[in-house]
């Protein structure tokens, strides 16, 4: 039953968010265009519900074709990140276009963050359970690992991600599966907003 309510809320919230954020979309797009040219958006294949892949939409924060010159994750000091990209990432502004993913139905407002297929395959059994629901813009892991880029600075970013960060995220994804509901979603939304302000 909550699945139906959740989808209705996703549609309503994403519609309101898109309309409210429209001026910011144009402003951010202009800043990216002036700073590093086109493309303004970065589309990347991620794993969605039932292992169905979709293209997540973000504002581009790295140099063109950055995915061809390094890993799928990035540390705070990654040289591929543009000047304006650092600012956008600091305040999670690069994530704002994902409301279109929610409206389309690929994602939910709240749910486990969508992962790259190559990383999800390392934990296939875990993700077979996690991917029974739609991925989301924010969740317990997003709040806990909001400074993920700094943690990846300690060494080989990909090794750190696979050995330390992603296993920790998976535990929090499973926590969400066990506690999924309206109250849990509201708590995550409030904690997400708090994390952006503090």
Query: Do the Cβ atoms of 69 and 57 come closer than 8 Å?
Result: no
For residue 55, list its beta bridge partners: 45
pLDDT of the residue at 137: 97
**CA 189, CA 195: separation in Å to the nearest integer?**
10
pLDDT of the residue at 99: 98
Q: What is the pTM of this model?
A: 0.93
**CA 44, CA 62: separation in Å to the nearest integer?**
13
pLDDT of the residue at 93: 96
pLDDT of the residue at 72: 86
Give pLDDT < 70 ranges for the chain.
198
pLDDT of the residue at 127: 98
The residues spanned by each domain of the chain are 2-197
**CA 153, CA 76: separation in Å to the nearest integer?**
6
pLDDT of the residue at 163: 95
pLDDT of the residue at 39: 96
Query: Nearest-CA neighbor of 109 among 184, 167, 37, 34?
Result: 184
* Residues ≥6 apart with Cβ < 8 Å to 53: 45, 46, 47, 117
């Amino acid at each position: 039953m909550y699945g139906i309510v959740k989808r209705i809320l996703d549609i309503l919230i994403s519609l309101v968010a898109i309309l409210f954020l429209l001026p910011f979309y144009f402003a951010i797009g202009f800043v990216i265009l002036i700073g590093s040219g086109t493309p303004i958006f970065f589309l990347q294949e991620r794993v969605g519900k039932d292992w169905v892949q979709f293209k997540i939409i973000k504002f581009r924060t790295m140099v063109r074709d950055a995915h061809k010159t390094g890993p799928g994750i990035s540390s705070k000091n990654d040289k591929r990140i543009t000047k304006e990209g650092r600012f956008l990432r600091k305040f999670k502004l690069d994530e704002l276009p994902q409301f279109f993913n929610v409206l389309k139905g690929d994602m939910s407002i709240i749910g486990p963050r969508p992962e790259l297929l190559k990383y999800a395959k390392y934990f296939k059994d875990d993700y077979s359970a996690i991917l029974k629901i739609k991925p989301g813009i924010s969740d317990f892991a997003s709040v806990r690992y909001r400074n993920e880029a700094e943690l990846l600075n300690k060494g080989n970013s990909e090794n750190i991600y696979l050995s330390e960060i992603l296993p920790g995220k998976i535990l929090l994804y499973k926590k969400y599966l066990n506690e999924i509901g309206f109250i849990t979603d509201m708590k995550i939304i409030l904690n997400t907003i708090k994390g952006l302000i503090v």
